[in-house]
Amino acid sequence: MSRSFLPIVALLLVGAGGTATQHLRLTGTSPARDSTVAEAPREIRLSFNLKPELALVRIGLASASGTKVAMGKPARTSDSLTVAAPVEGKLAAGGYTVTWQAASSDGHPIRGTFGFTVAPAAATAESAATPSGTTISRDHSSHR
């Protein structure tokens, strides 16, 4: 059955045009999935294979204990395939989970979650202005 069905599917796909067969897919995040970051991120970025509809993008953030972190509205970045939402709450060291959803112009929603960890050093290294002569040891050995 499937042998005779295949050419029909192929014809339908060709007839529907190139982009109709492509659905929105997450291609990257910042912070990266399962990464440990030395500094608390100021924003959460999501990159996709297609341009996401901004009105349909939701980005939520919660700590490991489940406490929601205040997030600003997602906005486009200079890259039309990437959206970013500012982190408005303060992030202490620890694990966080990003919960997101998005859709492209075809309207099919996709969603997912990913985690990242703010390294303990970030909690005290609040100031970005580190004197250039000072060496701050950032231990990357904990990366797995």
| Residues found near Cu ion in the complex (CB under 5 A) | 23, 106, 108
Q: How far is the CB of 135 from Cu ion (least distance, A)?
A: 49
Nearer to Cu ion, 22 or 80 (CB): 22
Report the residue number, 34 or 106, with the smaller CB distance to Cu ion.
Answer: 106
Output 38 or 81, the one with its CB closest to Cu ion. Answer: 81
Q: CB-wise, 88 or 106, nearer to Cu ion?
A: 106
- Measured from the CB of residue 26, what is the shortest distance to Cu ion in angstroms? 13
Report how far residue 62's alpha carbon sits from residue 17's, in angstroms, rounded to the nearest whole number.
40
The residue whose two tokens read 């910042």 is: 30
Render the chain in DSSP notation, one character per residue: -HHHHHHHHHHHHHHH-TGGG----EEEEESPTTEEESS--SEEEEEESS---GGG-EEEEEETT--EE-B---EE-SSTTEEEEEB-S---SEEEEEEEEEE-TT--EEEEEEEEEE-HHHHH---S---TTPPPP---TT--
Q: How far is the CB of 51 from Cu ion (least distance, A)?
A: 13
In angstroms, give the least distance from the CB of 32 to Cu ion: 25
